[in-house]
Structure 1
Amino acid sequence: MEQPLRDSDIQLCLDTGHHAYAGGDPVKFMLKHHNRVSYLHIKNFDINVRSKTQKGALAKAVSEGIMVEPNLGGVNMEELLKVLINVNFNGWAIVEQDMYPAPFDKPLLVSKRTYEYLKYIGMVKTDSFGIK
């Protein structure tokens, strides 16, 4: 990952879950390359599922529940938030969770819990999203 950053001036989308799933440390990456990250995907992964899946088999890992709610995975969201504050991150961010198959009733419940957790740690500071 370092070589393309040295050889270009492209802006990046850092997907915290995918980065960590591939063996990276998204918190350290954000600290080091924050000036190149203009878009952030807040996502987390299950360490136990990763240890059981074959490297590079992300589609299978997703079907086995590799991507989990932000407070349940290997990426320390509170540390990520500290970095975002310290570097004055001013880009776009989206919270997502890859899930397939997704039972009809699961996404809304996951969204509510995720919203409450991110609000609890201070990553969300508004109630204007209409989630009840």
Structure 2
Amino acid sequence: MRKIANAPVSFGVFELSDGPAPLGADEMVRALTDAGYDGIDLGPVGYLGTPATLGEHLGELRLAGGWADLRYSDAEQFKKGLPLLNATLDVFAAAPEGPFAPRPTLGCSGSPERFARPGGNAPGLAASDWAAYAARVQEAADRCRARGLEPAFHHHLGTYVETTEDVERLLELTDVPLCLDTGHLLLAGGDPVTALREWAGRVGHVHIKDGDPKILAQALADGVDLRELMGRGGFTPLGEGELDLPGVVRVLDEIGYEGWIVVEQDTLPGRRGVPRNIADQAANLQKLKELGL
């Protein structure tokens, strides 16, 4: 069994501290419900309300997952981020029962130089740093499990776990399931179809996202950062980039994947406008349904 969710990032909602969200949570939930989605990611803590009001805001949707960002490369900053992880888990623990438990998605803050150079072009972790980095990832995962929640680690452009090789190293050093994001892996030079097949035993969560390597190449040539890449449309509507979407769906069937599939189209607030964002996400779901999901 699989269920399909969407996420606030598809509407440019990343951090509430950036200013007013481009659309309110209740409006987003209505739009995704009307489009036929089963669930939604959490977004920034507080966007979908408090633990006490989460169920009211979700309506018919169920919580699929949500981003919990930590600086695994820096011991002091990692410790400073743990209270936010705890606050995120408080919300998850209050989520109404659904077809699958929501997955805390362990995100990896990037260093300044990696954030500025998406696409596998920045220096990775030194070999001597991997053990400590992985130990902090494992600690975060164990904290999630202590709350009765199974996490998944999200590889990401502009971070220390970006390329196929980075992901494989992390999988070797931890027992954490992987949130495989097709768009981030594609733009990091990987093959999402092959990765799904080869990492099947460790894939615990799936983000389906398309990407345009041509837009990435121009962004790299211009020296812009990851945020600007999103602003330029580096993550496209499904079918408009270079992701082998039919291949992804086929392999999900082959490996018998069960769980949440989260459609994402990372963008910046106001880039396409709320009506276009809503139409894009309805069309993205329709493409997946046409392929048999």
TM-score w.r.t. the length of structure 2 is: 0.40
- Structure 1 residue 101: Cα displacement: 3.0
1:68 aligns with 2:233: no
Aligned length: 123
SS of the residue aligned with 1:92? strand
Between the two structures, name the one with larger relative contact order (CA 8 Å, sep ≥ 6): 1
Partner SS state of residue 73, structure 1: coil
Please name the residue that 1:129 is paired with. none
1:57 CA displacement:
2.6
Distance 1:22 1:97 in 2: 16
C-alpha change, 1:23 and 1:56, in structure 2 (3 Å) is: farther
Residues 41-93 of structure 1 show CA distances to partners (whole Å, capped at 9, x for unaligned) of 11010122112111883211001000111111111010011110000001321
Which letter does structure 1 place at the counterpart of 2:291? I
Equivalents in 1 of 2:224, 2:205: separation in Å?
24
For residues 13 and 45 of structure 1, the distance between their equivalents in structure 2, rounded to whole angstroms, comes to: 17
Aligned CA-pair RMSD: 1.6
Aligned to 1:4: 170
In structure 2, C-alpha distance between the alignment counterparts of 1:32 and 1:56, rounded to whole Å: 33
Residues 58 and 112 (structure 1 numbering): CA distance in 2 closer, same or farther, change over 3 Å? same
Q: Does 1:34 align with 2:200?
A: yes
Is 1:118 the equivalent of 2:283? no
* Aligned residue identity for 1:80: V
8 A Cα contact 1:21 1:45, kept in partner: yes
Q: Work out the CA distance in 2 between the residues paired with 1:116 and 1:40.
A: 18
Take 1:100 and 1:13, find their aligned partners in 2: how far apart are those partners? Answer: 22
Q: Partner residue of 1:82?
A: 250
Any gaps of 5 or more consecutive residues in structure 2? 1-166
Unaligned runs of 5+ in 1: 124-132
Describe how 1:9-24 pairs up with structure 2 within 5 A: 9-24=175-190
Q: Is the 8 A contact 1:37 1:91 kept in 2?
A: no
Matches within 5 A, 1:101-116: 101-102=269-270, 103-116=273-286
- For the pair shown, the structure with the greater C-alpha radius of gyration is 2
SS at match of 1:40: strand
Shift, 1:113, TM fit: 1.3
Within 2, Cα distance between the matches of 1:56 and 1:11?
32
**Does residue 268 of structure 2 align to residue 100 of structure 1?**
yes
Query: Greater CA deviation, 93-102 or 75-84?
Result: 93-102
Shift >6 Å, 4+ stretches? none
When the two structures are superposed, what TM-score results if normalisation uses the length of structure 1?
0.86
Name the aligned partner's letter for residue 113 of structure 1: A
